[in-house]
Amino acid sequence: MKNSDPFKILTPNQRWMPASDKTAELLPPLVGKIRIAVEKWRDDGYSGVSDTSASLMKFWFEQEHFIGQNRFRFFFSQREAIESIIYLYEVAKAKDKYDLMRFDPSEQVSAQMFDETWTRYVVKMATGTGKTKVIGLALVWSYFNKFYETDCELSKNFLIVAPNIIVLNRLRKDFDRLKMFFQEPFIPENGFDNKDWKNDFQLTLHIQDALKPIAESGNIFLTNIHRVFLNEEPEETLETLFLGAKPKPDADTSKGLDLGKVLRSDKIKDLVIFNDEAHHIHDKKLAWFKAEQYLFRQYPIIRL
């Protein structure tokens, strides 16, 4: 179904579905049941989540927002994406592939189809529907839950990985000086639901190997995948394992700035990874998948 209004909430039965068995594989098997569950949860007022998550969704989707004189609203595609992430993590508590398989009505999905053992959510969105803003919403959700909620397993540290320099530079336009978060309604005003949101949002942005002191209040590491495993110790030859070649001259870390080593040091206790254009990492043979798998051995990772 074509939707001419990007803000209109669509019910699951208004969405595109395969017309025949021949096209059934075009719709990922978990999508339909998750859409139905998220719709019911939305209609029920987002029950079963933390107070922090409830406040954020109330602010994002129930408050009126303006940028200058122009009204601002998140697209429904963006809203449903972050709703699905929060629902799966907090309500359904789907933390691994076995939990996610409960959403497969076809009963054709098996654990052997998934190589990862860590929590991984994949959000598929069409070009132009604003997945960078979904990354921003998920980052804010994780940060404030870790900040305000006790015993939270999320993080205030984030690794945002782009597949190449072109995508990285596009992301920088939104993340430089964290301007996206303060110019658009990602963060509630101080005093909203009795919290000092904007005062408490203290993140240090690190781009590629231009690393600043690691902040206890939280960090964003914005990079392409090649920086994560650059300049490893020779006995493991990880440069060959993950890059398939020696580092290029423009990727030299001779000044001692090595993002890969920082991510695997005791300075970073937990981490949420955002993979932009994540279709690059579905195959366990790919360098990107192996890089993420290696990081998972160091500490818990949730990939959104």
In the numeric block, which tokens belong to residue 279? 């279709």
Which range has the worst mean pLDDT, 163-172, 195-204, 262-271? 262-271
303 beta partners:
120, 273
Q: Are strands 70-72 and 119-120 parallel, antiparallel or unpaired?
A: unpaired
- The CA distance from 48 to 42, in Å, is 11
pLDDT for 252: 36
Across the range 163-187, mean pLDDT stands at 92
Backbone angles phi, psi at 71, to 5 degrees: -70, 140
Look up the pTM and report it. Answer: 0.84
Per-residue pLDDT of 23-41, as tens digits, reads 445 557 788 899 999 999 9
**Are 221 and 168 within 8 A, CB to CB?**
no
- The CA distance from 254 to 232, in Å, is 12
pLDDT for 235: 37
- The CA distance from 140 to 157, in Å, is 11
In the numeric block, which tokens belong to residue 103? 């959403």
- The CA distance from 207 to 158, in Å, is 12
Domains of the chain: 25-303 (3.40.50)
- The CA distance from 244 to 66, in Å, is 48
Q: How far apart are the first and last CA of the chain?
A: 27
**How many of the other CB atoms lie within 10 Å of CB of 127?**
6
pLDDT for 49: 98
